[in-house]
Amino acid sequence: MNGTRKICVITGANKGIGYEAALTLGLMGWEVVLACRSFARGNQAVMALNSVFRQTDPGGKNQGLAVFMELDLASFASVDNFVVGFKKRYHACDALICNAGQMGGPYAQTAEGFERQVGVNYLGHVALFARLYPFLKGSPDARVVQVSSRAHERATLAEGEFPRIARQPEDTYNPWKAYAQSKLLQVLFTLKAQEVYGSDTVRFYAVHPGVVATDLLLSPLPGLARTILRPLARVFTAVGLLQTPKQGGDAITHPVLASPPLPGGTYWAEGSPREPNPLARSKTLQDDVWNHTWNLLEAFRIQAP
């Protein structure tokens, strides 16, 4: 570890916009921790990134560094193990980009029995934030970015509903409704966290990176549909109908790199400020989801910082 480098944790950074975000930061001299499920894919990404960093800064004076650390957001035990390893290597965290996620797909549960999209996209990242908060406070200018989606703008969520959707059974599961709700939860958390923890040293952002041609976009589709649409996605990207992974990566690093800092507790879409779903602005709903979130997590010894 180079003590002069800034440190950023990026979940799901072995490919797609997370990888591009790691590349952007590393080229600026950051140390990027790729927090990923797959040991093989994570280490492969680290090797590729570090090769680029060495080539672009052969003298090493401002050379970035990529490090792989295993993390499965569908398991709170994995979150705890990740933070134990992080603590052995680092004393502070300058940025946390909550990028990993699941989009649609068949019904599944996390290790703790939560519906998987809400569990991974939202609860897993909140647990990670809670464990990393002391390290974020150790930075003079920390940024926390939730990679949300404009899908949240169509989501519905009633007061008192969150505990039910967090543990909803398969017979009530709608994959796209669950995805949109998980993204709304991320925005609700961002706005409330800025109120509770936001200061001159920690700021919170939610970002829609654009509709990007990545595996996340195609993964919910059947195999034949993926085969047909993958080349079409490349065409749509070439003509500007879809964002490139590089453009998506730039969108999620924008709040991290902005100087002076962007206002905390804000929602950004493709690099520009945007009003979120009006539900995200509801103080009553913010408080309701916030309290229920920590009540659920406290059952697993994860407490609000």
The catalytic residue positions are 179
* pLDDT at 3 (0 to 100): 64
For 261, the token pair is 């800092």
Amino acid 242: pLDDT: 60
* Cβ count near 39 (within 10 Å): 10
State the pLDDT at residue 67: 98
The model carries a pTM of: 0.90
Rounded to 5 degrees, φ, ψ at 180 are: -60, -40
- What is the per-residue pLDDT for 52? 96
Q: What are the extents of the domains in the chain? A: 7-213+245-298
CB 256 within 8 A of CB 97: yes
Please give the pLDDT value at position 58.
76
Instruction: Specify burial of residue 138 (Cβ count, 10 A radius: 0-12, 13-18, 19+).
Output: middle
Whole-number Cα distances in Å, 245 to 99, 108, 161, 206, 207? 13, 27, 34, 18, 14
Residue ranges of the chain with per-residue pLDDT less than 70? 1-3, 212-242
Model pLDDT, residue 213 = 57
Residue 230: the pLDDT is 45
pLDDT of residue 2: 54
pLDDT (tens digit per residue) in 121-180:
999 999 999 999 999 999 999 999 999 999 999 999 999 999 999 999 999 999 999 999
Note the pLDDT of residue 57: 80
- The one-character DSSP state at 238 is H
Q: Pinpoint the alpha helices (H) of the chain.
A: 16-27, 39-56, 76-89, 116-117, 125-137, 162-166, 175-197, 215-218, 223-238, 245-257, 283-298
CA gyration radius, the chain:
18
Specify the pLDDT at position 234: 45
What gap in Å lies between CA 242 and CA 41, rounded to an integer? 25
- The class (CATH top level) of 7-213+245-298 is alpha beta
Cα-based distances in Å from 132 to 181, 221, 260, 294: 24, 34, 24, 16
Residues 164/114, Cβ–Cβ less than 8 Å = no
Q: Considering all CA atoms of the chain, what is the largest pairwise distance in Å, rounded to the nearest integer?
A: 59
State residue 212's pLDDT score: 64
